[in-house]
Chain A
Amino acid sequence: MKTIYKKELARIFKDKKMIFSVFFLPVLLMVGIMALVGSLSKSEMEKIQEHKSIVYMINQPDSFAQFMEAADFNISVKDIATDAEFENAKTKLRDGDADLIIEFPDNFDQVIASYQEGQDVPQIKTYYNPSEDYSSSAYETISTQGLEAYRQILLSQRIGDLNGIQIFTVNTDNPDMVVQDDQKASGKALGMMLPYFITILLFAGAMGLGVDMVAGEKERGTMASLLVTQVKRKSIVLGKVFALMTLSGISSVIYIVVMGVSFPKILGGDSGLNFEVTVEQIVMIGVLLVAIAFLYSSIIVLISVFAKDTKEASTYITPAYMVVLVIGLMTMFTTKDAGTMEYMIPFYNTALALKGILVNEVTMAQYGITLGVTLVLGAVLTVAIAKAFESEKVMNM
């Protein structure tokens, strides 16, 4: 077993190209994509902020014109006088050449000034195009926020002291309003993401390698050379599963470290997570990860054994990957505390336990069950693989 294990690792570590493509290329790609997405969205935001909104106005009252000037919005105003111009402006809005249309009623200022209690209040209509970023942004800043501020000004002109109608405020001056355990909150955020990342990293990392290790060997005819030696089938299987575990483990550690270092930088500043992990948590997570890596590796090897070639193996593995991923993701949407029975469900329990460890909510018994179920399932699959190795049909002999 040791010899097989060593050889499988040597296959990767003796080849610089393999080391690069297995361990570093995916990380570089991920970091590159994240950086690209980050910088693109940042520059897009800047562009929107710099953009001078083109706003068409119908019956713009003087008070609003003054307000806009005072508020210093970055806009260019065009007045509309006729229905034809209005239709034209709408077309421009649809085409993305205009950002917002604001329609005031006739003589808005006079209607406001001469308002008597019980009269209908005038309505301001705004038109925008939500599928255009510039238009959405103009709607948000001018129609929603700007008009609200404008209303407050008119209101204070009419009432005088606004406090008279405000009665009370909620949390206008209460910086301590959030009372929570920061540790647990961050743990919860991390606990939602971690199972997802762990699955992606461990499974995806092992997928390509596992397929090559078994289906690839069958395809190349090199598996038979192992099968004619006196080495027990079980040893060949375990050597391969453990090698796969190690490789996917190493690749996910590299992934996590690189992501941990580069993520906050890419996203610009603090990620908002305020978190300290205890040694106990690290050990618990570490041991669980080894068990998960064992289970995933055995799944991948099992599928690869039954596939005729690498192509077929890849085809079979993708749905398995999806299933494992979805089961792991389900914990993201469960709010109630999981009962001990739920820790019996494979895949689901590992995600639960990872989350539980981070928020300090998993009991030792639940952790033990998770570990046990994962290892037993991995072992059962490994035995199944060894049985499959005995079959000449499965091994393409």
Chain B
Amino acid sequence: MDQVVEINIQGLSKVYKLNKKQMQESHTKNPKKTAVDDLSLTARQGEIYGLLGPNGAGKTTTLRCIATIIKPTAGQVYVNGHEVQKEPEEVRKCIGFLTSDIKLDPQFSVDYMFDFFGELRGLPRQKIKERKKELFDYFQIGDFAHKKIKELSTGMKQKAAIAVSLVHDPEIIIFDEPTNGLDIITARSVTDYLRKLRDDGKLVIVSTHIMSEAEKLCDRIGIIIDGKKTAEGTLKELLEATGAGDLEDAFFEYYKAAKGEA
């Protein structure tokens, strides 16, 4: 592909309309909820970009907009130069998207699901076979490949889901809380693989609320609070800007500032 591998978000906003029940649940009389508020960022090839923020900050919504699962209320999102609303299929072709809400059909084996998504992605049989060997070997899926998804443990399911989401060897990998609910060993193998993908020249964008993970994994971090991007930079830049000793302290500086302003 001659285009640059890049995610470019310009002034993204996502506003949800709440129904009465949702308004009651969130104790508000405002029927509109702004999940993402005028957010802009650029993530480039060969880096792991981390969206860091508390629960409900708008991380997942942002990732979903990039993955064309939901439509932005305002602003543009370009993935490899393709605008998500104008060319959603082109966008979907070059991304691998994983979130805890997206699940594999529990009725089928990992093996079947891998082949199925390979075919859906339009890969030739031989290519599917090669990708399967590579990913199954790395994540040690071979032992349970023939088992139905519903028979697998959480860790195994997550490994299978990661493998399936990467079947088409996408240039851009979007993972929402990739290590959520995983034991330390599985989590490590996932983060190691994300590093490998970056080293292979992919663009990886993840969301997390785990400070230590962001610190170790991400090349650049965007801090999101209440749908707004409040800071962006490498770990070093963020620490320097706040004078904090670690990311957690730096995050709280930004958090206090954002809440103070509000």
Contact = CB atoms under 8 A, between A and B. Distances in A.
Interface string B48-80: 000000000000000010011111000000000
A221 B99 CA distance: 10
A30 interface: no
Interface residues of A, number: 22
A3 interface: yes
B11 interface: no
Q: Is the interface of B mostly helix, strand, loop or mixed?
A: loop
Interface in B120-151: 120-122
Contacts of B164: 225
Contact of A228 (B69, B71, B112): B69
A21 interface: no
A220 B71 contact: no
Interface in A231-279: 231-232
Interface residues of B, number: 29
Contact of B92 (A4, A222, A228): A228
Contacts of A7: 105, 108, 116
B92 A230 contact: yes
Nearest to B161: A225
B101 A231 contact: no
Given A11-B105, A15-B107, A229-B121, A224 B69 contact: yes
B97 interface: yes
A162 interface: no
B89 interface: yes
A3 B120 contact: yes
B108 A221 contact: no
Contacts of B107: 11, 14-15
Contact of B121 (A14, A221, A230): A230
Given A11-B108, A392-B70, A230 B89 contact: yes
A229 B69 contact: no
Interface string B87-111: 0011011010101011111111000
Given A220-B106, A221-B103, A226 B68 contact: no
Contacts of B104: 222, 225
Nearest to B150: A220
B158 to A, nearest CB: 14
Contact of B103 (A222, A229, A231): A222
Contacts of A392: 69-71
A10 interface: yes
Between A3, A4, A397, the greatest number of chain B beta carbons within 10 A of the residue's beta carbon is seen for A3
A323 B69 CA distance: 35
Contact of B101 (A11, A15, A221): A221
B70 A231 contact: no
Nearest to A15: B107
A227 interface: yes
Contact of B69 (A10, A222, A232, A397): A397
Interface string A175-205: 0000000000000000000000000000000
Contacts of B102: 221-222, 224-225, 228
A230 B90 CA distance: 7
A221 B121 CA distance: 19
Contacts of A15: 107
Nearest to A391: B71
Given A7-B105, A222-B102, 11 more contacts: A7-B108, A11-B107, A11-B108, A221-B103, A224-B101, A224-B102, A228-B92, A228-B95, A228-B97, A232-B89, A397-B70
Interface of B: 64, 67-71, 89-90, 92-93, 95, 97, 99, 101-108, 112, 116-117, 119-122, 164
20 contacts: A3-B116, A3-B119, A3-B120, A7-B108, A10-B108, A10-B112, A220-B103, A221-B103, A222-B102, A222-B104, A224-B99, A226-B120, A228-B69, A229-B92, A229-B117, A229-B120, A230-B93, A230-B122, A392-B71, A397-B70
